[in-house]
Amino acid sequence: MNSVTSSGDTRTPSPPYGYSRECTHSREQQIHIVAEFHAHKIRPSRIAYRVGIDIAFIEELIAGETEAERFVQLVKYYRTGRYKQRLRESTRRAGVSRYEMQQKIEREFAQETDL
């Protein structure tokens, strides 16, 4: 049921800040999911919305308040996997375009790992 606001916006409002569904994953799975999504540069609110993980838990992991060393290692693992995947996908291009794409991927990976 859509209602028209004073600005004329007929879209349905966003779900409450946090999540849109129940989370069915164990705590261990949640840590891995958050690490993978974080490695792919997905915002905490979006992770919570997509998967249903408590946003407070997501922010604790990212801030290093919970499972700090382990979470950092998982993020590195998933970033490395993302890096390799992007390089494989860049082989579809040819010539200078491929070279430039690979250079961009390597620069971004170096910046991410220096954090």
Assigned domain for 5 exists: no
Assigned domain for 105 exists: yes
* Among 104, 97, 98, 68, residue whose Cα is nearest residue 83: 104
Structure tokens at 8: 């004329």
Q: Would you say residue 12 has pLDDT above 70? A: no
15: DSSP letter: P
Q: Would you say residue 56 has pLDDT above 60? A: yes
More confident residue, 16 or 55: 55
In the prediction, which pLDDT does 4 show? Answer: 47
Q: Kindly give the interhelix angle for 27-39 and 68-90, rounded to the nearest 10 degrees.
A: 50
Assigned domain for 11 exists: no
Range of the domain at 67: 27-114
In the prediction, which pLDDT does 3 show? Answer: 45
Assigned domain for 21 exists: no
* pTM, entire model: 0.66
Per residue in 71-84, pLDDT tens?
999 999 998 898 88
